[in-house]
Amino acid sequence: MNLRSLLMALALGLVGAAALGAEGFLSPFVGASFGGRTDDAKLTYGGAVTFKSTESILGFAIDFGYAPDFLGSTGYGNNNVTTLMGNLVLVFPGPVRFYGSGGLGLVKTRVRDVSGLFRVDSNELGINVGGGVMIFPGQAVGLQGDVRYFRNLTDPEPDAEFDVGLGGLSFWRATAGLVLKF
């Protein structure tokens, strides 16, 4: 999917959400990935868009995150981890909104060493679970803090029909940013 198609789908979702009596949250963020496979905290950035009915605490979110130099800047060359997750979300009402979130999606890992001999470009199924808080001092613009755990899933026995296990790539992500309510 190219960027233009993604932006058009997002715009249609925003218009559809308003027409159906739903509220949405657009949340660009910056933060750190840490623990698991990282040797220390790494910069991460991205954003999320969340939709929920005004009559319910249940919603759906699409979360995108990118962490350059995820495995470190020495010894691995150019490397990064990208996540794209679809989550179910519980958002509690009020000017201070606590939420919990969990779901599954894509964990993409890229590693290219300096000499060009070693190259990994994997797309794996992954899970995430976490939560946070949104604070709205005004009507439409607020602040958000979020902490999540990510883990890739693997197929431990490729010959089995359907077998899923926890993979070796795991990390935590803590972020903060603006949240725009629409």
The single residue listed with the structure tokens 């009507």 is: 139
Q: Can you tell me the mean pLDDT for 124-139?
A: 94
Q: What is the pTM of this model?
A: 0.80
Query: What per-residue confidence (pLDDT) applies to 161?
Result: 66
Question: 25 pLDDT band (50/70/90 cuts)?
Answer: very high
Highest mean pLDDT among 4-13, 64-73, 114-123: 64-73
Of 9-23, 46-60, 137-151, 160-174, the range with the lowest mean pLDDT is: 9-23
Q: For the CA atoms of 124, 62, 48, 21, what is the dihedral angle to 10 degrees?
A: 180
Mean pLDDT of 150-160: 76
- Contacts of 19-23 spanning 24+ positions with Cβ under 8 A: 20/53, 21/53, 21/54, 21/55, 22/51, 22/52, 22/53, 22/54, 23/51, 23/52, 23/53, 23/54, 23/181, 23/182
The gap from C-alpha 82 to its chain's centroid, in whole angstroms, comes to 9
3-class state of residue 86 by DSSP:
strand
Q: What is the CATH number of domain 3-181?
A: 2.40.160.20
Q: What are phi and psi of 9, to 5 degrees?
A: -65, -40
The chain-wide mean pLDDT, for the chain, equals 84
Q: How far is CA 114 from the centre of its chain?
A: 28
Q: Break the chain into its structural domains and give their ranges.
A: 3-181
Residue 112's DSSP bridge partners are 78, 119
Q: Give the H or E element holding residue 3.
A: helix 3-19
Q: E strands within 2-138?
A: 22-34, 42-53, 58-68, 78-91, 96-112, 119-135
How far does CA 25 lie from the centroid of its chain? 14
